Structure 1
Amino acid sequence: MSTSTPNPAVPYYSQWESADLVPDFVSGRIQAADDPLWQKSGAGSPQEYAFWAPRICGVACLRMALDHWGHPVPPSIPLLRDLLDAGAYVREGDAVKGLIYRPFTEHVRARWGLTAEVRADLPATELPDIIKAGHLALLSVHKTIRTPESAPPSRGGHLVLAVGATEESVLLNNPSGFPGSQQAAEVPWDRLNVFYAGRGVVLGA
């Protein structure tokens, strides 16, 4: 495994507008509809925002990548609507399928001219070279990766953005991270695969 330079300068976006309140949203102490910044999302109502905020980790990762490469960053819900139209999310009642990688990458390439590659098999050992080459990687991990010492019940289901790598750790921008585990959060390599499903999307300018 080669070493790449950490890039904590990749901008951070939470999937909730009030990033400092994420622990309260996750625990249920505060309902997402009561997020004081919900209107920044571009949602039409607090209820629309509350439905989508827990489900748009992929949208938040895309916003980080767009900002990193100098593209205008749409608010989260208008961006989500575009991805719904593109088939990257599918809503059936209160059930949501997504982020669906192939329509997502097709939309990202067509809309912003980014490179985007679906990787159904993306070993963690490849991440340092991917990042060293100037790319970013969306990784499917279990949401509890915000506390790397924990034991998740499964792997995958939540998207984070790999933004840096050292000999010891991968650095992740986590859309549902708690303060202190949001931007360039260090996850030791020997802990990553406990959470990581081994698949994702590689993005480039």
Structure 2
Amino acid sequence: MEITAVGPVPYFSQFGSPELVPELIARTRAAQDDPRWAESGAASPQEYAWWCRRVCGMACLRMALVHWRGASPGTVELAHECVAAGAYVVDGERVEGLIYAPFAVYVRERWGLEAEVDTALDPARIRAHLDAGRLPILSVHPSIRTLDPEPPSRGGHLVLAVAHDDEALSVNNPSGFPGSQHYARVPWADLDRFFARRGVVLGPM
């Protein structure tokens, strides 16, 4: 039985169509051909295609906003706000970020949520945050979606921790495949090989 003080948390993919994530990740379908691109708030399919692989953090924030505030802009709209806030730095075709410190300031000032950078996250701290009603955004390797036995590194992708029990952490994974998206279970014994032990912890004021 899952233990959490947070309650049901909605799911949003960083892609418009969650069911198409395997094709979009494999690039067997072009991102600009995602039929639900406009839900991101992008001005065009091309703008959506440029951002969709970069907005895992915005998808995590969107889930938290809908959970606590009942509504949220789309992921690309949120990304534009984060560029203005210094949480993303765009340099030509390159994007630096998500940069945690300015992102936390943006979340507090723009949305009135608690947001604290934590660079010493471990399983005990994740459980404590969840039990206190907070939602940790965790830096993990994207291959967590398949529980890859040998990921090449830790970190590089953001997921939202939403629940836990003695055996596993449950996460909402913005780039998860169908079956590893909403409340996807990651056994505690597997988490460490993906998890960079840093992130941003969100909570209601």
TM, length-normalised to structure 1: 0.95
Structure 1: state its 5+ residue gaps.
none
- Give SS of 1:69's match: helix
On the 8 A contact 1:59/1:76 being kept in 2, the answer is: yes
Rate the CA distance shift 1:155–1:124 in 2: closer, same or farther, 3 A: same
Matched positions, count: 203
Task: Give distance in 1, aligned partners of 2:90 and 2:130.
Answer: 33
Would you identify which runs of 4 or more consecutive aligned residues in structure 1 move more than 2 Å? Answer: 3-8
Task: Give distance in 2, aligned partners of 1:165 and 1:173.
Answer: 12
Q: CA deviation at 1:17?
A: 0.6
Tell me which amino acid in the other structure corresponds to 1:182.
Q
Task: Give distance in 1, aligned partners of 2:41 and 2:106.
Answer: 20
On the 8 A contact 1:15/1:175 being kept in 2, the answer is: yes
Deviation string for 1:120-163 (max 9, x for gaps)? Answer: 11112211111010000000000000011431100000000000
Q: 1:180 corresponds to which residue? A: 179
Moved more, 40-49 or 97-106: 40-49
1:49-198 → structure 2 map (5 Å cutoff): 49-198=48-197
Tell me which amino acid in the other structure corresponds to 1:4.
I
Q: CA deviation at 1:170?
A: 0.3
Task: Give distance in 1, aligned partners of 2:34 and 2:62.
Answer: 20
Task: Tell me how large the CA RMSD over aligned residues is.
Answer: 1.3
Tell me which amino acid in the other structure corresponds to 1:196.
F
Rate the CA distance shift 1:19–1:38 in 2: closer, same or farther, 3 A: same
Rate the CA distance shift 1:23–1:54 in 2: closer, same or farther, 3 A: same
Tell me which amino acid in the other structure corresponds to 1:121.
A
TM, length-normalised to structure 2: 0.95
Q: 1:37 corresponds to which residue? A: 36
Tell me which amino acid in the other structure corresponds to 1:181.
S
On the 8 A contact 1:4/1:129 being kept in 2, the answer is: no
